[in-house]
């Protein structure tokens, strides 16, 4: 059975899938992120060695992707909270689009500042 | 599966999300500001060392993220994989994030 049958091919279902996948990616990234920060123990020399590596354009591209995923998960999560805790509104697809736009906006802002 | 447990996990997931949303917004803004002139240990530590504000904020961030990530991971494992023991994996994730996270906070403050 496909996990994407025709009746699920809907913007809000895709918003759900993106929310899950972005959350999963962030959960896998988080231990690595925290480990790298702990390299600052002492004078931060080891952290600087790592930060030099992040000057690589491929690493910057990965950073932009992570920023987009983080912003997407936050904005998508606010959409879920609004859906569950605020009175029903008919513009659910607009809220999902706003979440996507927010994520891309943060990605562009980060990209413009990191290069 | 206990229905009562599911209700508590649902509540904890939403409560942690409400704590995380403003912290993530601040984190995104800080990152965008901080990378402008390139990152260095001195730049990061200059902002965070000795700061009760950043230390407290990141410690709260870690606590909320460990709970939120663990419950999310449990849901994904239970709904999308045939694996048993999703709860054990989630608990291990929560403990690992708390340990790694608070160690990282101690390192930068």
- Report domain extents, chain B: 23-108
Chain A residues in contact with B78 (beta carbon < 8 A):
none
Residue B1: name the closest of B70, B75, B66, B92 by CA. Answer: B75
User: Mean pLDDT lowest for which of A79-83, B26-30, B40-44, B76-80?
Assistant: B40-44
- Residue whose tokens read 């906070």: B105
Task: Report pLDDT for A17.
Answer: 95
Report d(CA A34, CA A26) in Å as an integer: 12
Q: What is the pLDDT of residues B8-50, one digit of tens each?
A: 999 999 999 999 999 999 999 999 999 998 888 998 999 999 9
A residues 43-72 lying closer than 8 A (beta carbon) to B: 43-45, 47-48, 51, 54-55, 67, 70-71
d(CA A39, CA B45): 12
Q: Give me the pLDDT at residue B88, please.
A: 97
Residue A93 within a domain: yes
Higher-pLDDT residue of B28, A51: B28
pLDDT, chain A, mean: 92
Q: Mean pLDDT, to the nearest integer, of B49-66?
A: 96
Residue A102 domain-assigned (yes or no) = yes
Residues ≥6 apart with Cβ < 8 Å to A67: A106, A107, A110, B28, B31
| Burial of B50 (C-beta count, 10 Å sphere; 0-12/13-18/19+) | exposed
Any chain A CB within 8 A of the CB of B26?
no
- Whether residue A44 lies inside any domain: the answer is yes
What is the structure's pLDDT at A115? 87
Residue in A27, A44, A109 closest to B73 by CB = A27
Pair of tokens at residue B74: 């449990």
pLDDT at residue number A43: 74
- Measured between alpha carbons, how far is B70 from B94 in angstroms, rounded to an integer? 5
Residue B82's CB: how many other CB atoms inside 10 A? 6
Residue A1 lies in a domain: no
CA angle B91, B94, B100 (to 5 degrees): 135
| Stretch 11-30 of chain A: residues touching chain B, C-beta under 8 Å | 20, 23-24, 26-27, 30
Hey, are the CB atoms on A24 and B44 less than 8 Å from each other?
Answer: no
Q: How many domains does chain A have?
A: 1
Position B106 confidence tier, pLDDT thresholds 50, 70, 90: very high
Please identify among residues 86-115 of chain A the ones whose CB lies closer than 8 Å to any CB of chain B.
106, 109-110, 113-114
Residue % of chain B over a pLDDT of 70: 99
Report the pLDDT value the prediction gives residue B37, as an integer from 0 to 100. 84
> What is the pLDDT at residue A94?
94
What CATH number should be reported for the domain holding residue A75?
1.20.1300.10
Of A20, A89, A16, A37, the C-alpha closest to B73 is A20
Global pTM value: 0.94
- Helical axes B41-48 vs B86-108, angle rounded to 10°: 90
Residue of A68, A35, A65, A36 whose CA lies nearest to A53: A36
Q: Domain residues for A22?
A: 6-114
Which of B39, B44, B97 should one mutate to test binding to chain A, selecting the residue with the greatest count of A CBs within 10 A?
B39
Q: What is the mean pLDDT of residues A53-79?
A: 96
At B98, list the tokens: 């708390």
């Amino acid at each position: 059975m496909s996990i994407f049958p025709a009746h699920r091919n809907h913007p809000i279902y895709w918003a759900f899938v993106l929310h899950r996948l972005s959350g999963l990616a962030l959960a896998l990234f988080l231990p690595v992120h925290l480990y790298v920060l702990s390299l600052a123990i002492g004078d931060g020399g080891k952290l600087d060695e790592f930060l030099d590596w992040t000057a690589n354009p491929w690493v910057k591209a990965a950073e932009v992707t992570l920023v987009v995923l983080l912003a997407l998960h936050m904005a998508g999560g606010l959409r879920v909270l609004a859906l569950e805790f605020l009175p029903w509104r008919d513009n659910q697809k607009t809220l999902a689009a706003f979440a996507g736009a927010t994520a891309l906006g943060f990605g562009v802002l980060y990209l413009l500042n990191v290069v | 599966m206990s229905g009562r447990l599911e209700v508590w996990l649902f509540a904890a997931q939403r409560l942690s999300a409400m704590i995380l949303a403003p912290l993530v917004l601040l984190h995104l803004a800080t990152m965008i500001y901080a990378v402008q002139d390139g990152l260095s240990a001195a730049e990061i530590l200059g902002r965070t060392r000795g700061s009760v504000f950043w230390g407290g904020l990141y410690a709260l961030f870690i606590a909320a993220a460990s709970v939120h990530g663990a419950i999310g991971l449990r849901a994904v494992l239970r709904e999308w994989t045939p694996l048993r023991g999703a709860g054990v994996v989630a608990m291990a994730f929560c403990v690992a994030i708390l340990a790694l996270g608070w160690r990282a906070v101690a390192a930068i403050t």
